[in-house]
Amino acid sequence: MEIESRHSGLLKAIRSILSEARQKAVNAVNSAMVFAYWEIGKRIVDEEQEGKDRADYGSFLLQQLAENLTVDFGKNFDARELRRIRQFYLTFPIRDTVRPELSWSHYRLIIRIEDDRVRKFYIQESISQGWSTRKLDRNISSQYFQRILSNQKLAAEKSSKDEGNQLDFIKNPYVLEFLKLPSDLAHKEKDIEKAIIQHLQSFLLEMGKGFAFVSRQKLIRTETSDFFIDLVFYNYYLKCFVIVDIKAGKLTHQDIGQLDMYVRMFDDLEKTETDNPTIGILLCADTDNVVAKYSVLNDNTKLFASKYQLYLPTVDELQKLIENDIESLSYNTD
């Protein structure tokens, strides 16, 4: 029995060593290829700048290179890919600005972004949050940066730094296409809640940084009644609980009143002395600017109403939603 236990421990240790070594090897290869592409891009640009007619010469140069490199290294070096490599260097002309933590697949997505500030945001978040290329692609498509920025603009106008920090972690809208619920059908709150639990990892990623799942249908018991909160999370950056109440319909003042009660009860019965005050998010199919303006949302910095989308909107649709978001939330700064 002792021999089997020792063997099991040794096997586990060796597996861990090999797995770590393989991952380091993969990371080293990815890093080496990224810098190799940067060097190739630099050589192409330098050569083009020596040409008398840059446009014509550049096109001829890439086509010739593609034909030659395809023979030697395969179709990964066609003219289209060489244009990407060229653009990579033009986007990051200073070698030290290239982050080795990201793969070439990450950079193929990042170089499509024209705004330098937005590029830096996605680079930093990809590294700090460990985004896969699939996650990065989705966040770019769903305008993750712009949805965060819409609340940061409001945060800059707020007098309280803590309130501003909270807005950095709240989105509007939340894009929930991964729930795989038909967007053209009416849904019940329990259906949306169930789908969120089934796709919890994706939902946490959509929520943003620092969120951890705590409970579903959390029971809050008072002396006279029992109450059930749809979803409870904890954010370790804000150091507070975040409760989410799901509404399949349009925002109403009754919904806001219920969420306000839940937050107050949670603070009184669940929050510890080391936790910051609880934040409440009302996740609803549609918001109402008038209800928001004349309800407790107007002066309560711990309550938020956010619209959810069950499909991935187009860029234009998202831009309109974000603009409406800034307008609808501006009541907090009046």
pLDDT > 90: what percent of the chain?
A: 40
| Nearby residues of 196 by Cβ (< 8 Å), 6 or more positions away | 176, 179, 203, 231, 246
DSSP label at 236?
T
pLDDT, tens digit (0-9, with 9 covering 90-100), for 244-265: 999 988 888 888 889 999 999 9
Question: What is the CATH topology of the domain spanning 144-333?
Answer: Trna Endonuclease; Chain: A, domain 1 (3.40.1350)
**Does the predicted TM-score (pTM) go above 0.85?**
no
Contact 193, 231 (CB under 8 A): yes
Gap between the Cα atoms of 202 and 179, Å rounded:
9
Tell me which residue of 325, 20, 333 sits closest to 143, measured CA to CA: 325
Q: Which amino acid is at 116?
A: D
Q: What are phi and psi of 185, to 5 degrees?
A: -120, 150
Supply the DSSP string of 48-74, one letter for each residue.
HTTSSSHHHHHHHHHHHHHHHHHHHH-
Query: Reduced to 3 states, what is the DSSP secondary structure of residue 115?
Result: coil
State the distance between the two ends of the chain, measured CA to CA, in whole angstroms: 72
Angular region, 217: left φ>0, alpha ψ -120 to 50, beta rest: left
Lowest-confidence segment of 29-38, 68-77, 158-167 by average pLDDT: 158-167
| Nearby residues of 180 by Cβ (< 8 Å), 6 or more positions away | 195, 199
| Domain coordinates in residue numbering, the chain | 2-98, 144-333
Residue 54 has pLDDT above 60, yes or no: no
Could you check whether the bond before residue 182 is cis, i.e. omega within 30 degrees of 0? Answer: no
Residue 228 has pLDDT above 60, yes or no: yes
